[in-house]
Each structure stands twice: as C-alpha cells, then as structure tokens.
Chain A
Amino acid sequence: MIYFAKWKIFSILGICLFGLIFAAPNFLSSQQAASLPSWVPSKQFSLGLDLQGGSHLLLEVQVDTVIRERLDALVDSMRTELRKARVQYGSLGTTATGATVTIKKPADVDTARTLLRNLDGDTTVTVSDQGRIDLTLTEQAIRDRRTAAIEQSIEIVRRRIDETGVREPTIQRQGDDRILVQLPGIDDPERVKRLLGKTAKLAFHMVDQRPRSEAAGGTTPPGSVRVPSADEFGPDGRPREYLLKKRVLVSGDTLIDGQATFQDNQPVVSFRFDTIGSKRFGKATTENVGQLFAIVLDGKVISAPRIREPILGGSGVISGNFTVQSAQDLALLLRAGALPAPLSILEERSVGPGLGADSIAAGKIASIVGMILVVVFMVVVYGRFGVMADIALIFNIILIVAGLSILQATLTLPGIAGIVLTIGMAVDANVLVFERIREETRAGRTPISSVDAGYSRAIRTIIDANVTTLIAAILLYQFGSGPVRGFAVTLAIGIVTSMFTAIMLTRLLVATWLRRTRPDTLPI
C-alpha cells in the first residue's frame, strides 16, 4: 500500500492540479476572468439571487381564462348563426369544455346541427334528446390553446422585462402553466411586478351616447356594456361607469409602438398602429366625427376623448391621469404587447444587495473560522497525520470550488453552509482511518502494516457513511427548490471530493512520508 503505481500518483496529482486551475478564475474579478486567453479555463460559478441580490418570481398563467374566452366567443357565434338561420333556441350557454344549446322545434335540429358543425373545426357536435346540441372543444384543441397561451405569455414577459433594462434575466417555463423569472440585481421589484401584473389588453370602443333615460335604470341596452373608469370616481366614491358599444373598433394587437411624451406639460402616451390598424382607426374616426370614443385597458376606461376630426395617420395620443412613471409603464406595456391571459404571482423572493453582501461576508468568515478550528483540531489530535489530513482538506475546498465552476452551479447561502458542513465532514474519513491505524499500532503491528490495515479496513465504512449522506443530498436536490438546491449541490460535490481527498490524497501523502522516513513508531 505504500507503493503507488506511477499512473496513480500522476492521476491523483493531476486531479489536484486540474482542481487548482479550474478553481482559480473564481479568485479573479469577472472582468479579469473574461480577459484571460481562451485556452485558460475562465468559468466562474455564479452567485444565487440570495447572495448577489435580485428577485425570483414564480408566475402562473391563468390559462383557463383563455379557454373561457374561446368558449364565450363560440357562444357568440352560435347565437349569430342561429339567429341568421331563424332557428328558435333556448338555454344557450357555456359548459366546462364547450357550449350547449337547445333547439325548440324538432324540425330545426338537423339544420342547426349542420350549421353548428361548420362553425368551429376544433369542436365535436353531439345531439341528444329534446333537441339539445352540445359542442365540445377537442382535447387537442384545448391543449394547443394552453400551450400557445403559455408560450406567448413567456414571450411577452420576456419583452416587458427586456424593456425595463434588467440585465441577464432568466425566464423559463416551469411545469404545466408556470413561468419562472429571475432578475439578478434589480433594485425595484415592485415596478416589475406591477408591469407583469397587467394583461395590457387595449381596445377602442365607441361610447354609447343614446339618451340617458334609456341607459339609466340599471338596464344595459343590448350590444352595449358598462365599463368602469380607471381614475374617475362618482360622488359615492365608486368608479364612474361608461356605457360603451360592445363592438371593438380597433384592438391593441394592431399597435406597433408606444412612447411616453408630454402634451401641454402633461405626461401622455403616444401610439402608432400598423397598416391594418391605421385603416380601421381612420375609417372609424371618419365615420364618427363629433362622437366620443373610449380607450379601454384591461376592462377599465382610461380616457374617453371626442373625435374632433378623422385620424388618418395611424397614430394618436392617450391622455389620462398619468404620472411620468405610469405613462412610461403604459408605453412599455403597449410596445411589449398584451398577455393572452392574466398572470398571478405565486411566489416572490427578493433580496436587496445589502443583505446579499452581508451574507457573503458572514459566510466567508464562518468558512474561514470553521476551517481553522477543524485544521487546528486535527493537528492537535493526530499530529503529523493531522497535517496531512489538513492538506487534503484544503484541496477538498479547492476541488469543491472547481466542481461548482465546471458544473456552472449557483452558489447560494445554504450552499455556503454546505461547504462549511463539508469542511467538518471531510476530515471524518481521515478520522476513521487514523483511529484504525492507532488501533492496529496498539495491537502491535509495524507502522507500515498498521497504515495498510487502517486504510483497507476503513474504506468500506467510509463508503457506507458517505453513500447515505449522498442519498440525502440527491433527494434534497430532487425535491428542493432555489437556495436549498444550492445546498444539495455543494453537499453532493463535497461528499465526492472529500472521498477522493481522504482516501487517495492523504493516503498518497502518508505513503510518501512512510517510504521516505521509514519510522519505527507512528507519530499518531
């Protein structure tokens, strides 16, 4: 055992050297690391949001609203078609995954079925007793809709976040209908949350200006809707309501630009339509000069100006009750586009840069002090052998750092705890070996045979002990999230590297020393 094959010695030293090389870039600043020649490893591990500061947001796309909208539209077109064909019907409405209608005259059922079957290729039509016809969206159609809505949401979220100028955001789909957003180093998570919290569906409607008497009394005339104002309040403190024509003149998806500017010293938002939008807007404004039209954002009227003259240039200005910030936010939302469905924030974890820096400092001190305590303890208890274990311990830390860099892992605060824990655990293997060597020495074996027995007999115990901890680390990675995963990663890397340093490196050191000095007794 005290003779190592040459290739073994080279492999052990080689791994240590590689560890040093791969760990080294982390001690440089990121600029310095970037300026290294390309053949030098320059990967650094990254710091988690809890250490560098930033926001972690888990969003949920409320996909069901997309399906609901689709079903509402289906019901609308069913109504139109049936009316056109003068089919008498009753109880028209949506079901969980489709729409249903009851045809009054049995003679009309066939006509209605043919009509409805051609209505939407994604539905299956079933007719049951008493003239009831059910249209059901196919599962494929629902799945496609959901996927499209989520992908589009991710795209819009990305655009909105890019517009805020956050550097290196991470935006990824998680699970079925969730989006994970990580924003390193942002100082105002509230603004991003505000921006992501808005669907930003913009639509232009005509205001229904029929005489008040008709509109009043709580009844809403057919073809019109009541929409609350965003910022005007009535005497009772409730938002003022507008009566708007249901039909959308022009919708926001034809917008191609939005900018915050000033008009008469008031912040306003200017916008521009694409060709189709320009034409529609031009036509609508030409036909309705003198009338009021309303700009509706997410179901609230933000402004209801009078059309003074036809607007043919395809651009316009929204003046509302804006502050500079809210005008900028609206312009940004218009540029980035509307979300297909509302998002809700399921989880937020934001850490300011101050706490992150404090955590790093505390983690460093704890690691250094923990290290010193363990190093001193090992020397006191195991003498020269302790020194060799300590050398291995230092290489263990280097290898952990190298492992984190190679895997491009993220170091989190629990991750630092994992490293400190590993410092304490890494020497355990050496303790087991050294104790066994002591025992063998007491049993009267020669130094070389004691060391030999110490290693060969302790190895199985060491492996058993480490495998159980590794099992825990793997499960922790599997079930854990965010910072806790960082802990699982450092713990797992630490277990593997500590087995290498304890079994291979210290053994090489001990064997080399034994071969050189041939001691009569072991200083252990």
Chain B
Amino acid sequence: MRGINLIPADTNLNFMSLKKVFFVISAIIVLGSIGLYTANGLNYGIDFKGGILMEIKTTDGPADIGSMRGKLSGLGLGDVSLQEFGAPNEIMITVQAQEGGASAQATAIESIKNALGEKIEYRRTEFVGPKISDELFLDGIYAVGAAIFAILLYIWFRFEWQFGLGAVAALVHDVISTIGIFALLGMEFNLTTVAAVLTIAGYSINDTVVVFDRVRENLRRYKTLPLAELLNKSINETLSRTIMTSVTTLLALLALYILGGEVIRGFSFAMIWGILIGTYSSICLAVPLLLYLDIQRRSGVDQNEQEATA
C-alpha cells in the first residue's frame, strides 16, 4: 500500500518573487481588519456586553418570528432581537441588559416566558451581568496578550530573535485578521470565539515553526546560496507538510462546522479561518519577512548538523 504525493516533490514555486504582492495583501488584510473593527465594531455576544440570551424551540411547528417579536417588543425590555438558530422552529432571543440589578433580569426572563406562552421548550437561558461581562472581556484580552507574549518568548528562546519577530508578526496578523473577519461578517463574538483566537495563536505558529526549522537547516547546509533563493527553497521543501498538516486539521474542523451544531459553529468558523490564514501567513509573510530581518549566516564548518530538523 503506497501513498499518493498530493504535492509533487519537485514543486518549485517562486514565492519570493511575489513577496511584495503578499505584503500588500497582508497589509490590506490587517489595515482592513483594524478599519472594520473601528468602524463596525464587533457583534459582541452577551458574554462581553451583558444581557439575556434565550434559545427556544417551538413544539408545534415552525416558529412565527414576526408574532413573537410583536409579543416581546411590547414588554418594554429595550433592544430585543430574534433570529432563527439552526432550524425553523429554533429561535435565539437576545435582550439587552436590564436596568435595575439582578432582580430586573429575573423579572425580564419571567415576563418573556409569560409572553411567549405554552408550547415552547426553553433550551438555553443565559444572563450575564455588566460586572461579569467586563471581567470576561478583560480576561479575554489578557489571555490573548499573554499567549502572544509567551509564544514570542518561546520562539525567541528556540530561534534567534529575527525568527521570533517574523513568527510573531505572522501570528499577530492571523489574530487581527480573525477579529477582522468577525467584524466583516457581523458574526457573534463571544467566549468561544476568544478560545478559538487563542488556539489559532498557538496552532498557526506550527506551520511557521516547520518552515523556520528548515530555513535554519538550510542556512547551515548552503553557505553561499543567496538568502532569497534559500528561503524560497525552504518553503518549497516544506510545502507538502505545511499544507498536509493544515488539511488534516481542516478536515476535522469541517466536520465540526457542518455537524457540530449551532452553538459551536462560530468557534469552528474562527478556527477554520485561522488555519487558512495561518498557513498563508507562514509561507507568504513570515518567511519573506526574514529577508529584511538581517538573519545571521555563520561561516565555517557547522558542528550542529546533527541537530537538523524537519
């Protein structure tokens, strides 16, 4: 039983000649993401903005969103939004945080239940108070910041600083663009999305590490090869594994995205995006950046040949 080489071994694409194009694309992605974030903001879920979320299922056929909206808007609860959630008889209701403390939330939840009447299954009821949503938001920022910093330290420790910088540039690019795509599509940004962003931070660096390891190995092996050619060679040599590792993870995530249910869909979407953009940024951003980061090329015989890596 023999495997199939999906990416031929003699693949030799000239990535480095397109580096300016990649830089422009990445700049557009990053600036666009920041712009979208500033202009549109993120569609924060109740985790981060506080409020009430209810997921209901009508037990007597498809839900009539219009009439439900009518019933709920009469309650004087402020912003109420209803949307179909996965199936015609499943509705997600979000209500803004109520003035007047905890008892006001409980009252609001009860009045919604009364207004909607019978024949409804309450699948999920969540309420997040302003104190908690602020804490969760800060925790999220701390976690992402700390992760990026810790990964930077690790890469710095394992490679020379130039590599660390390149890797973190790619990583920040991936994180910002993930936030950007959520701002662009107006998808709900909640706690699981932050979990996805953090995982992307940890995972998208994998491809970068693979290519960087090869760059380092080639730097020792080919002392005179011009740097741009050497980088290009390294990308091509590792292209197959960079793509294959992403494909296996994407296959699992696609299953999760399609079959895992509504609650987890935002998470799987963020992960899928993160892996695609992570693969792109490893090849097209992190490696070409090394060209400008003044990496050291040692002369003489290298005794560390045995340390060479995949």
Contacts and interface: CB of A to CB of B under 8 A. Distances in A.
Q: Which 5 A-B pairs have the closest CB atoms?
A: A472-B202, A424-B252, A424-B249, A370-B255, A479-B143
Contact of A377 (B105, B109, B205, B248): B248
Given A355-B55, A425-B249, A363 B202 contact: no
With most chain A CB atoms within 10 A of its CB, the pick from B192, B251, B308 is B251
Interface in A435-464: 435-436, 438-439, 442, 454, 457-462, 464
A385 B244 CA distance: 15
A421 B205 contact: no
Interface residues of A, number: 91
A189 B150 contact: no
Given A354-B121, A471-B154, A487-B195, A366 B4 contact: no
Given A347-B132, A457-B309, A475-B146, A464 B213 contact: yes
A247 interface: no
Contacts of B131: 60, 346
Interface of B: 1-6, 9, 55, 57, 101-103, 105-106, 109-110, 113, 121-129, 131-132, 136, 139-140, 142-143, 146-147, 150-151, 154-155, 158, 191-192, 194-195, 198-199, 201-203, 205-206, 209-210, 213, 237-238, 240-241, 244-245, 247-256, 258-261, 263-264, 267-268, 271, 307-310
A190 B109 contact: yes
B203 A354 contact: no
Contacts of B122: 350, 352
Contact of B127 (A347, A352, A370, A373): A347
A50 B198 CA distance: 21
B267 A414 contact: yes
B209 A472 contact: no
A26 interface: no
Given A347-B128, A351-B123, A414 B106 contact: no
> By CB atoms of chain B within 10 A, which of A377, A461, A523 has the most?
A461
Nearest to B203: A469
Interface string A465-487: 10111111101101111011001
A425 to B, nearest CB: 5
Contacts of A414: 192, 195, 264, 267
A373 B252 contact: yes
Contact of A366 (B129, B151, B255): B255
A414 B106 CA distance: 27
Contacts of B113: 190
A469 B123 contact: no
Given A346-B102, A351-B124, A370-B252, A431 B260 contact: no
A192 to B, nearest CB: 11
Contacts of A470: 202
A431 B201 contact: no
A399 interface: no
Contacts of A194: 106
Contact of A431 (B194, B244, B250, B253): B244
A12 interface: no
Given A431-B245, A468-B154, A471-B150, A346 B4 contact: no
Contacts of B194: 484
A377 B256 contact: no
A465 B151 CA distance: 10
16 contacts: A190-B113, A344-B103, A345-B129, A349-B124, A352-B124, A354-B57, A358-B261, A359-B261, A377-B251, A381-B3, A383-B2, A464-B209, A468-B209, A475-B143, A475-B150, A481-B139
